Amino acid sequence: MSRTTNDDTVSILTRGYDFGSSIWRRTRDVPMRLLGRDALLVRGTEGVALFYDDARIARHGAMPAIVQETLFGHGSVHSLDGAEHRHRKATFVDVAYEDRQVERLVPLLDREWHLELDAWIRGGRRTAYDAAVGAFGRASMRWAGLPGTAAAKTRWSARLAQIVDGFGVPYSPGFLLAGANRLWSDRHAQRLVEAVRAGALDAEGGTALHAWSWHRDAEGDLLPARLAGVELQNSIRPMIAVARLVAFAAKELHDRPEWRARVAAEASDRGTLVGGPLATMFAQEIRRTAPFVPMLPGWATTDVELDGETLRAGGRVVLDILGTDTEDRSWERPHAFDPERFRGVDDVESMPAFIPHGGAGVATGHRCPGEKLAVAGLTAAVAALSDPRVTVRSDGLDVNRRRLPTKPASGGRVGTVEARSRCPLH
């Protein structure tokens, strides 16, 4: 790769989710640079295979520190590689990925989304996003074995959601607030772990609270309580982050009344908000077209080559998540919103170009072990938003694609059908 004086770092802030497509169009003429280093943007099945090859790509230190420390927490699994990563990742797999863990969460999601739906029917004004933060937070905290009232869980959920909202805007007050909420959450989670270890708080076996309170590193030592608390949060915060996708689901359901009707009929026939095949297909298409972040960084530990481009060891390899999820070589009509493309697909992890929760294997790679939990939660939200007694309002559904992470501006305002048909003067 030839060197250039251009640096594309600022372009991430100015282009946001369109950064990858912009770079992809011009990199053969003008190579990419990030933070003063040569970089290579990769996408598609071959790009995913390269990015998750531990023999050639490392993750440690690749994420800018202000992002890593704010979003994931100091020393978290996201910053590890090799045997150390696999050892700690095994606990996440046991806590969040096993089918029994999904089965434990599903009825809690159904209960919480019925509560939010009932509130909307009674005239509640929470947006789809705010409702999802509360529903996902309460369900996942109860699932994780955390103590506290529903109100307390909702308040902590809001803090964790704000961390997700503010980590990518270091130029705004939201980033400072995210840092403050990170400090509060770290202290709170650390105290929970310390209480379990001291015998003052009971942690049920099989829960995230129990697992991280007693997790030992490869040398057999307990994690420091603060770090155990960080990983405890990393077991529940990704579920809360799915609230952003719920806002996108509200937008897409508003634009597709025929899908709302189909999902509503399915939920009525099944008698539950969770697990509907049509709602799941819709949720998967939301995940494909509205990923949480547009890209992920790594380091080349050896010289790498892809599609005729070469990057020397020490350069940055950037995986274009959005570009991969919408690449024309891997998807038919990639820019069309079509949930039917997921009909009959039971194992999305076998789709190498579908990486909204990362790629490669869950146990050995960096794919998020909470993916099945996220799909279950988003599916329930799609069903709740499709209920014929409520409607998604048209105002505020515009999306700022420069902001990282983003969502429809209003979060998806929800109202009752009766309220919309009522005369505005009475």
Per-domain boundaries in the chain: 9-421
DSSP state, residue 222:
B
Give 423's pLDDT tier (boundaries 50, 70, 90): very low
Name which residue leads in pLDDT, 425 or 192. 192
Name the one residue in this structure whose structure tokens are 């996108």: 248
Q: Write down the pLDDT at residue 169.
A: 86
Q: For residues 81 and 112, what is the distance between their CA atoms, to the nearest angstrom?
A: 36
Average pLDDT estimate for 133-140: 98
Q: pTM above 0.75?
A: yes
In one-letter notation, the amino acid at residue 171 is Y
Residue 85 pLDDT > 80: yes
Cα 188 to Cα 138, 159, 174, 179, 182: the distances in Å are: 16, 12, 21, 14, 10
Reduced to 3 states (helix: H, G, I; strand: E, B; else coil), residue 335 is coil
Q: For residues 164 and 274, what is the distance between their CA atoms, to the nearest angstrom?
A: 25
Burial 329-357 (b: 16+ CB within 10 A, else e): ebbeebeebbbebbeeeeebeebbbbbbb
Q: For residues 120 and 403, what is the distance between their CA atoms, to the nearest angstrom?
A: 29
In one-letter notation, the amino acid at residue 15 is R
Q: For residues 261 and 244, what is the distance between their CA atoms, to the nearest angstrom?
A: 23
Name which residue leads in pLDDT, 394 or 35. 394
Strands 57-58 and 295-300: antiparallel
8 A C-beta contact, residue 74 and residue 230: yes
Q: For residues 201 and 162, what is the distance between their CA atoms, to the nearest angstrom?
A: 27
Alpha-carbon 364 to chain mean position: 19
What CATH number labels 9-421? 1.10.630.10
Name which residue leads in pLDDT, 422 or 216. 216
The tokens for 61 are: 């230190």
Q: What is the pLDDT of residues 227-245, one digit of tens each?
A: 999 999 999 999 999 999 9
Q: Write down the pLDDT at residue 102.
A: 95
Q: Write down the pLDDT at residue 28.
A: 59
8 A C-beta contact, residue 300 and residue 315: yes
Q: For residues 229 and 225, what is the distance between their CA atoms, to the nearest angstrom?
A: 6
Q: What is the pLDDT of residues 344-353, one digit of tens each?
A: 999 999 999 9
Burial 52-87 (b: 16+ CB within 10 A, else e): bbbebbbbeebbeeebbbbbbbebbbbbbbeeebbb
Q: Mutual orientation of helices 225-241 and 82-92 as an angle, nearest 10°?
A: 60
Q: Which of 35, 60, 12, 27 is CA-nearest to residue 306?
A: 27
8 A C-beta contact, residue 280 and residue 342: yes
Residue 302 pLDDT > 90: yes
Using CB atoms within 10 A of its CB, is residue 310 exposed (0-12), middle (13-18) or buried (19+)?
middle
Q: Which of 130, 140, 137, 131 is CA-nearest to residue 113?
A: 131
Residue 223 pLDDT > 80: yes
DSSP state, residue 38:
E
